[in-house]
Amino acid sequence: MTITASASSALTAKATFDDLGLSAPLLQALREKGYSTPSPIQEQAIPAVLSGRDLMAAAQTGTGKTAGFTLPMLETLSHGARPGRGQIRALVLTPTRELAAQVLDNARDYSRHLRLRSEVVFGGVKINPQIQRLQQGVDLLVATPGRLLDLHQQGAVRFERVEFLVLDEADRMLDMGFIHDIRRVLSRLPERRQNLLFSATFSPSIRKLATGLLNDPLQIQITPPNQTARTVQQVVHPCDMKRKPDLLSHLIRSNDWQQVLVFSRTKHGANRVAEKLTNEGLVAAAIHGNKSQGARTRALQGFKDGSVRVLVATDIAARGIDIQQLPHVVNLDLPNVAEDYVHRIGRTGRAGECGHAISLVAAEEALLLKAIERTTRESLEKVLVPGFEPTVLDAPPLDLSGGRGRRSPRGGGPTRNHHERNRGGGGSRGGSSRSASGRPKRSGRPPQR
Ligand code: AMP
C-alpha cells in the first residue's frame, strides 16, 4: 500500500498527536518542543510503527521524518524490559556523524520524561568513551555503520535484543558506499525485528535493499521524488565564476543575512571562501571531510548558536544538518549531481517555515542548471545582481570527472559518468546560463531579503 501526501500540507494536517497512540510522557515532551500538529509523515508513520509494521518511506529531511520513526519506537521501548550490559534495543543507522548526532538530540528531547537511554556512536572520535557508555545497556542507539561494526567486533555492543532497525537516509548511505557495512550489520541482527527504511528517493538499488530487508512494508511517499519543498523561494543569480566569492560577500552584507549555509563543490573551495569572508570581517567557518570531528562539531555548534554567521560546507558534511528555520542557503557552486540540489535546499524552509535558496551560476554550469531544472521539474527564476552581471556568456562546461571543478577542453562535454548521474542533464554543449533556461531578469532593487 502506498500513501502519498504533499509536504505543503504539513501545516494543515487534521490529526493531533493525541490521536496517534502516543502516551502522556511523549505528548508532554512534544508540547514542550512546541509541536502542535503532526506532519503528514508522522500522521502515517506513527500508528503504522506502533502496530508493528515495517515501513518504507520516501521522505526528505524537513518533513519531520525523524520524529516519525523516533516517537513510535520510544513509545514501544518504554513498555519493554531494560537492556542488559552491552545490549541495545533499537538501532538507527545514518550516513553521517552530524545526522547521527541530530537524531540523538531529537530522541533525547522526545524521551525526556521516559526512563530510556539513548546514545550515539560514530567514527572520528575516541572509541573508549563509547565503549563505556554502551556497557550500561542502551535502549536506542544511533550509529554510523563503520564505527558500529568496530564496536561489535570488540564485543562492546550486543545485538541479540534488537527489536527495531532504522536505515535513515538510505539513499545517501548507498551513495557513500556503505552497502557492505550495512549488509554486515544486517547479517548480525536477530531475524525477528521491525524494520524502517527512510530514503529521499527509491532508486533501483534502494528497492533491492528493501526487498531483502522489509516484510510487507507500508509504503509512504511524502514529497514526490525530486520535487523541492514548496516553502522554499529559489533564485539563480547568473555571474562569472571568478566573481562568485565577491557576490556572496555582497549578498550577505547588502541583505544583512545573519545565518547563511553556503555549499561549495570542493573542500579547497570551502576553505578559500570561509577564509576570504573571515578576512573581510564576517565570522565564517568551513566544514568538510578533511576537518577533524572536533572542528566540525565546533563550527556546527557556532553556526547553531549564532556566533558563526556563515557556514561553508561540502555536500557530505552538510548532509542532514538540521537547524530550525534556517533562512538562507547559497549554492556557491551547483552540485555535480542534480538530486543533491534538492537535498541542499532541503536545509531551508523546513516544517512550514519559508526559506531562500540562492544559486550563483556561471556559464560553465549551464548544463548542471538544466539538469537541476529537469530533475525538479521547475524553471528557476534568474535575477541579475547589478555590478555582478556575467561577462562570460558562453563557456565550455566544467569537467567534473575529477570532482575538482576543472574546465574541460573547449567543446568537450561532461564525461559519460557525469551524464548518467545527471540523468539526461546533457544536451547542448557549451550553452550559457541564459540560453539554458530563458532570459534573466534585472533586479532594480537589492536582491531578496
Ligand atoms: P526532520 O525532517 O526530521 O529533519 O525534521 C525537520 C524539522 O522539523 C526539525 O527541526 C524538527 O524539530 C521539526 N519538526 C518535526 N516535527 C514537527 C512538528 N510536528 N511540528 C513542528 N516542527 C516539527
Per-residue CA distances from 96 to 150, 170, 283 (Å): 16, 11, 25
| Spacing, Cα 38 to ligand 1 middle (Å) | 9
Query: Which H, E and C letters describe 283-310, residue by residue?
Result: CEEEECCCCCHHHHHHHHHHHHHCCCCE
The atom number, within ligand 1, closest to the CA of 37 reads: 19
Identify the CA nearest to 5 among candidates 73, 75, 67, 64: 64
**pLDDT over 50 at 421, yes or no:** no
| Spacing, Cα 189 to ligand 1 middle (Å) | 30
Identify the CA nearest to 88 among candidates 144, 125, 134: 134
Mean pLDDT of the chain, nearest integer:
82
> Which fold would CATH assign to domain 2-221?
Rossmann fold (3.40.50)
- Residue-wise pLDDT tens digits, 198-252: 998 787 888 899 998 999 999 988 754 445 555 678 999 999 999 999 999 999 9
Q: Which range is most confident: 295-304, 339-348, 380-389?
A: 380-389
> Is 38 a pocket residue for ligand 1 (Cβ < 6 Å)?
yes
Could you tell me if 118 and 108 are in contact, meaning their C-beta atoms sit under 8 angstroms apart? Answer: yes
- Residue-wise pLDDT tens digits, 149-165: 999 999 999 999 999 99
Q: What mean pLDDT comes out for the span 25-54?
A: 94
Q: What mean pLDDT comes out for the span 269-295?
A: 92
Helix (H) or strand (E) holding 186: helix 179-188
> Is 324 a pocket residue for ligand 1 (Cβ < 6 Å)?
yes
> Is 39 a pocket residue for ligand 1 (Cβ < 6 Å)?
yes
Identify the CA nearest to 284 among candidates 266, 271, 268: 271
> In which order are the strands placed within the sheet that holds 260-263?
284-287, 310-313, 260-263, 328-331, 355-361, 232-238, 381-384, 441-442
> Is 65 a pocket residue for ligand 1 (Cβ < 6 Å)?
yes
> Is 320 a pocket residue for ligand 1 (Cβ < 6 Å)?
no
Listing DSSP states for 394-443 in one string gives S-PPEE-TTSS-EEPSTT----HHHHHHTTS---SSS--HHHHSSPPEEP
| Spacing, Cα 104 to ligand 1 middle (Å) | 14
> Is 68 a pocket residue for ligand 1 (Cβ < 6 Å)?
no
**pLDDT over 60 at 5, yes or no:** no
Regarding predicted confidence, which is higher, 72 or 342? 72
Structure-block grid coordinates of residue 209: 535493499
| Spacing, Cα 243 to ligand 1 middle (Å) | 36
Helix (H) or strand (E) holding 25: helix 24-33
Buried b (16+ CB within 10 A) or exposed e, 145-167: bebbbbbbeeebbbbebbbbbbb
**pLDDT over 50 at 433, yes or no:** no
Could you tell me if 434 and 376 are in contact, meaning their C-beta atoms sit under 8 angstroms apart? Answer: no
Regarding predicted confidence, which is higher, 248 or 124? 248
Could you tell me if 215 and 54 are in contact, meaning their C-beta atoms sit under 8 angstroms apart? Answer: yes
> Is 195 a pocket residue for ligand 1 (Cβ < 6 Å)?
no
| Spacing, Cα 33 to ligand 1 middle (Å) | 10
Per-residue CA distances from 258 to 248, 305, 449 (Å): 13, 11, 11
What CATH number belongs to 232-442? 3.40.50.300
| Spacing, Cα 232 to ligand 1 middle (Å) | 16
Confidence band of 52 (pLDDT split at 50, 70, 90): very high
Tell me if 2-221 shares its fold with 232-442: yes
Which of 22, 35, 108, 325 most suits a substitution to test ligand 1, by most atoms within 8 Å of the C-beta? 35
> Is 35 a pocket residue for ligand 1 (Cβ < 6 Å)?
yes
Regarding predicted confidence, which is higher, 7 or 415? 7
> Is 67 a pocket residue for ligand 1 (Cβ < 6 Å)?
yes
Structure-block grid coordinates of residue 243: 566573481
Domain boundaries, given as residue ranges, for the chain: 2-221, 232-442
